[in-house]
């Protein structure tokens, strides 16, 4: 860049709109999108580690798509190339690919190609990009306001990780205002500005989650206001209203807003909510939607959702549509609203969908011969008996007679089930009687009776690895794992922490179900960490759980190793706090808030043996005094029960303001007495031997061990008690956004 180019860039930067000047340059300055960019989440880790694959950001305007791309450009060690699909064509794309090939060939430098408004590339342009994304010449970073599943080449989508950015919340928009008013270099920090609470609230409310709209309005309010004698610029509600008078309706007749809004409209009608139906109707009309399109959808709803519960529904809509064609806008809005409110408030039935049941049966049934008495008798009646036996309904009283009209293989099949309201309800009882009579008639005639929002490209290597890990665990543990994870509301962007992780087995579902959030493992010794790292060696960097080593029961040590602000939506663990003292348990419990988000959950599984070696033996095996053995067995049971912690922890959590519950079940496990098992029970340092010698004579323990030595190979049944503790902090009243 020469001197003149540098001066031009500096001048453009100073004269750029506030929204452009305030773009964040690093992740620390980025506001919002915590679901995908929060501390510890996959996208943040990928940016910080500079190991991004192809990604596509999509979402409404002003949510940070382009800003994220610029942050990536500022933090990557790769060559960064940027194109705008509105201005660029095949030639510019070809030049970018050639530069990428040169950088890769000469310097071994990969290229990140950012394409803004990627949906504006036509099919041939997207097809031209695909091979270079596929062979790794470029890594694509796309940004679009449209749904990529509809507007971007399916092959590109399948090779990219998708992140959906949400409109900013009021709290985040307030932070945007605070930053703009305090930044002395790029914002208004060098001016004396006073903005009233009412003006601030109005700007935030009308911006509708769009940071660009908010900053544009704030800039207009500041630049159009004259400072007083002390240099104070005061922005009151009147100034704010003039700066941003109307919230822009996000609507694209060919995009997500179009389809999502009409979907919300029809579902509101189906749900008989007139207020919601009018709101979505107003949104479409204000955005310029064609009323004839709305009438077409109303006609569909009249058939699909109202149906024969109110046969007049389709008549009313058709009449209102004809009236609209004669009147036009603006007065034509009245028949449109009338049709909407009529369908919303009338009886509902989807019984007409029985037609599709008939279609399905048509495709599934092989033999669908038309019954002979229903065939045309004018051609083959004499030779083949077609039409013979047909009963003419008008020849009978009430113009109806019991006879079958379905093929033989479908006798008794029901496709139309009348609803329980409106016109259909009046027909229901009579139809039931008629169907019963038809079946009776068929029997008499000897006719046989018959009759279900970060999307990611698939990762086959990860799927195969997860399956291998599951298979190695065995069927019993797989069933226990399913029971443990049942009902846990895990989302793709959630961060999961596995406490005292001894095996990857319990973390496998989280690795599969939360790829954009990520999994962290806490271990208590270096040996376990080394073992887990070896098992994870085959996975790439972003797929691997992060391993943290701490001393037992010290959650504060783990907190110090996390990124600033990193917390978890879910913390799980199995057989935790064994051997912990009451003080250690209390400290451990108080430290959970350091790791959990405000709405985070705990799920812990504790499994312990119900019977010890003494209780497992059949009665009379030792020849001891009966009363002595009974007393010893009872003490052994109490010792084993003290190993369990879920019940007292549940009570501790409840007393600390948690909502907690324990699910308890029993499992019968068959095992064989082996030398290894006896070594585990009776070795000089075992917990069982220590407990025994603290309560009973050592000679008795020797007798017990000798008894088991004579039963090597014998099968015994051990009852295991499983307790699953689930807990969540009681919801707090939602606080308003911060005022400054």
What is the reported pLDDT for 454? 45
Q: Which of 303, 304, 290 is closest to 336 using CA atoms?
A: 290
Return all residues near 491 (Cβ < 8 A) that are at least 6 apart: 513, 514, 517, 569
Residue that is written with structure tokens 């919601």 in the block: 276
pLDDT in tens, 28-64: 888 888 888 888 888 888 888 888 888 888 888 888 8
Q: Does domain 256-348 have CATH number 1.20.272.10?
A: yes
pLDDT in tens, 388-421: 667 777 766 666 766 666 776 666 666 666 767 7
Q: Are 600 and 571 in contact (CB under 8 A)?
A: yes
Q: Are 212 and 243 in contact (CB under 8 A)?
A: no
Residue 429, Cβ density class (10 Å: 0-12 exposed, 13-18 middle, ≥19 buried): exposed
pLDDT in tens, 200-226: 888 888 887 888 888 888 888 888 888
Arithmetic mean of pLDDT, 430-434: 63
Secondary structure in 3-state letters for 423-464: HHHHHHHHHHHHHHHHHHHHHHCCCCCCCCCCCCCCCHHHHH
Strand partners of residue 140: 113
pLDDT grade, residue 448 (50/70/90)?
Answer: very low
Give the least confident one: 331-335, 374-378, 658-662, 688-692: 374-378
Helices 698-709 and 687-695: angle between axes, nearest 10 degrees: 140
In whole angstroms, give the CA distance from residue 453 to residue 149.
13
Arithmetic mean of pLDDT, 701-725: 84
- pLDDT surpasses 60 at 10: no
Which two tokens mark 162? 């998708």
Arithmetic mean of pLDDT, 70-76: 85
In whole angstroms, give the CA distance from residue 606 to residue 725.
8
What is the reported pLDDT for 738? 37
Task: From residue 632, give the alpha-carbon distance in Å to each of 301, 386, 681.
Answer: 74, 89, 17
Q: Are 81 and 115 in contact (CB under 8 A)?
A: no
Return all residues near 175 (Cβ < 8 A) that are at least 6 apart: 31, 738
What is the reported pLDDT for 711? 81
pLDDT in tens, 631-668: 788 888 877 776 555 557 788 888 888 888 888 888 88
Question: Taking the chain, what is the end-to-end CA distance rounded to the nearest angstrom?
Answer: 41
Helix (H) or strand (E) holding 84: strand 79-84
What is the reported pLDDT for 570? 92
The radius of gyration of the chain's CA atoms, rounded to the nearest angstrom, is 36
pLDDT grade, residue 100 (50/70/90)?
Answer: confident
What is the reported pLDDT for 4? 45
Arithmetic mean of pLDDT, 232-255: 70
- pLDDT surpasses 50 at 1: no
**Cα torsion angle, 338, 339, 342, 343, sign:** negative
- pLDDT surpasses 90 at 616: no
Secondary structure in 3-state letters for 601-633: EEEEEEEEECCCHHHHCCCCCCCCCHHHHHHHH
33-164: CATH number: 3.40.50.300
Between 12 and 286, where is the model more confident? 286
Residue that is written with structure tokens 């950015």 in the block: 165
Task: From residue 240, give the alpha-carbon distance in Å to each of 63, 191, 466, 513, 737.
Answer: 21, 18, 55, 45, 19
pLDDT in tens, 507-519: 888 888 888 888 9
- pLDDT surpasses 60 at 3: no
- pLDDT surpasses 90 at 497: yes
| Fold exhibited by the domain 458-594 | Rossmann fold (3.40.50)
Task: From residue 545, give the alpha-carbon distance in Å to each of 498, 501, 504, 515, 573.
Answer: 10, 11, 10, 10, 15
pLDDT grade, residue 444 (50/70/90)?
Answer: very low
Residue 250, Cβ density class (10 Å: 0-12 exposed, 13-18 middle, ≥19 buried): buried
Examine domains 33-164 and 256-348 and report if their fold is the same. no
Q: Which of 493, 446, 610, 343 is closest to 38 using CA atoms?
A: 493
pLDDT grade, residue 691 (50/70/90)?
Answer: confident
What is the reported pLDDT for 571? 92
CATH architecture of 356-444: Orthogonal Bundle (1.10)
Average pLDDT, the chain: 79
b/e 594-627 (16+ beta carbons within 10 angstroms → b): ebbbeebbbbbbbbbbbbbbbbbbeeeebeeeee
Residue 195, Cβ density class (10 Å: 0-12 exposed, 13-18 middle, ≥19 buried): buried
Helix, strand, or coil (residue 40):
coil
Between 414 and 732, where is the model more confident? 414
Arithmetic mean of pLDDT, 369-376: 69
* CA triple 452-458-463, angle to 5 deg: 95
What is the reported pLDDT for 319? 93
- pLDDT surpasses 90 at 12: no
Task: From residue 358, give the alpha-carbon distance in Å to each of 302, 348, 400, 428.
Answer: 21, 21, 23, 19
Arithmetic mean of pLDDT, 563-572: 89
| Residue extents of the structural domains in the chain | 33-164, 256-348, 356-444, 458-594, 608-721
- pLDDT surpasses 50 at 695: yes
Between 258 and 166, where is the model more confident? 166
Which two tokens mark 731? 């919801």
Which two tokens mark 28? 């620390």
pLDDT grade, residue 735 (50/70/90)?
Answer: very low
pLDDT in tens, 539-562: 777 778 899 998 888 888 888 898
């Amino acid at each position: 860049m020469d001197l003149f180019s540098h001066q031009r860039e500096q001048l453009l930067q100073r004269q750029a709109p506030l929204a452009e000047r305030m773009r964040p340059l690093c992740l620390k300055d980025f506001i919002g999108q915590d679901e995908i960019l929060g501390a510890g989440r996959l996208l943040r880790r990928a940016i910080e580690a500079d190991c991004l694959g192809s990604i596509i950001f999509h979402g409404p305007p002003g949510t940070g798509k382009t800003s994220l791309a610029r942050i990536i450009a500022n933090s990557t060690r790769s060559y960064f190339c940027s194109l705008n699909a509105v201005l660029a064509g095949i030639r510019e794309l070809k030049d970018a690919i050639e530069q990428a090939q040169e950088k890769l060939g000469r310097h071994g430098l990969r290229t990140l190609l950012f394409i803004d408004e990627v949906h504006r590339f036509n099919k041939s342009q997207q097809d031209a990009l695909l091979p270079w994304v596929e062979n790794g010449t470029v890594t694509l970073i796309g940004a679009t306001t449209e749904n990529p599943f509809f507007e971007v080449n399916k092959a590109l989508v399948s090779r990219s990780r998708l992140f959906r950015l949400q409109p900013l919340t009021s709290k985040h928009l307030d932070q945007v205002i605070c930053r703009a008013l305090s930044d002395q270099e790029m914002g208004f920090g060098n001016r004396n500005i006073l903005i009233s609470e009412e003006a601030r609230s109005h700007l935030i409310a009308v911006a509708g989650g769009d940071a660009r709209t908010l900053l544009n309005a704030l800039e207009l309010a500041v630049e159009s206001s004259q400072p007083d004698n002390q240099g104070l610029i005061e922005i009151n509600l009147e100034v704010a209203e003039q700066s941003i008078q109307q919230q822009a309706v996000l609507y694209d007749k060919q995009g997500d807003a179009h389809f999502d809004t009409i979907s919300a409209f029809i579902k509101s009608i189906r749900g008989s909510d007139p207020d919601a139906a009018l709101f979505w109707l107003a949104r479409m009309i204000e955005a310029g939607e064609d009323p004839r399109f709305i009438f077409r959808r109303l006609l569909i709803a009249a058939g699909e959702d109202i149906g024969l519960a109110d046969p007049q529904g389709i008549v009313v809509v058709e009449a209102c549509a004809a009236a609209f064609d004669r009147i036009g806008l603006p007065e034509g809005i009245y028949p449109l609203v009338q049709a909407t409110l009529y369908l919303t408030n009338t009886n509902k039935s989807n019984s007409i969908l029985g037609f599709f049941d008939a279609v399905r049966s048509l495709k599934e049934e092989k033999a669908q011969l038309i019954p002979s008495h229903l065939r045309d008798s004018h051609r083959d009646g004499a030779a083949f008996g077609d039409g013979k036996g047909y009963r003419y309904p008008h020849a009978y009283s009430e113009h109806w007679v019991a006879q079958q009209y379905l093929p033989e293989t479908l006798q008794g099949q029901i496709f139309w089930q009348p609803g329980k309201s409106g016109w259909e309800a009046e027909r229901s009882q009579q139809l039931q009687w008629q169907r019963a009579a038809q079946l009776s008639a068929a029997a008499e005639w000897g006719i046989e009776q018959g009759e279900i929002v970060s999307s990611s490209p698939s990762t086959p290597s990860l799927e195969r690895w997860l399956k291998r890990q599951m298979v190695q665990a065995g069927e019993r543990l797989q069933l226990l794992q399913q029971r443990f994870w049942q009902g846990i509301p895990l989302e793709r962007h959630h961060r999961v922490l596995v406490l005292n992780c001894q095996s990857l087995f319990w973390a496998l579902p989280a690795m599969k179900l939360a790829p954009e959030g990520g999994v962290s493992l806490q271990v208590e010794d270096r040996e376990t960490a080394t073992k887990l790292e070896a098992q994870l060696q085959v996975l790439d960097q972003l797929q691997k759980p992060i391993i943290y080593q701490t001393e037992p029961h010290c959650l504060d040590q783990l907190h110090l190793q996390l990124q600033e602000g990193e917390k978890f939506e879910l913390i799980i663990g199995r057989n935790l706090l064994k051997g912990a003292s009451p003080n250690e348990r209390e400290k451990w419990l108080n430290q959970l808030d350091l790791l959990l988000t405000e709405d985070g959950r705990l799920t812990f599984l504790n499994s312990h043996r119900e019977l010890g070696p003494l209780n497992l033996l059949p009665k009379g095996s030792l020849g001891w005094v009966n009363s002595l053995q009974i007393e010893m067995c009872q003490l052994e049971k109490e010792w084993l029960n003290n190993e369990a912690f879920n019940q007292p922890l549940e009570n501790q959590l409840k007393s600390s303001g948690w909502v907690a519950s324990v699910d308890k079940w029993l499992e019968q496990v068959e095992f064989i007495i082996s030398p290894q098992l006896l070594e585990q029970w009776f070795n000089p340092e075992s917990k069982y031997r220590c407990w025994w010698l603290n309560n009973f004579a050592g000679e008795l323990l020797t007798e017990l061990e000798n008894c088991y030595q004579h039963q090597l190979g014998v099968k015994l049944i051990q009852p295991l008690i499983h307790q699953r503790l689930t807990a969540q902090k009681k919801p707090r009243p939602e606080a308003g956004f911060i005022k400054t």
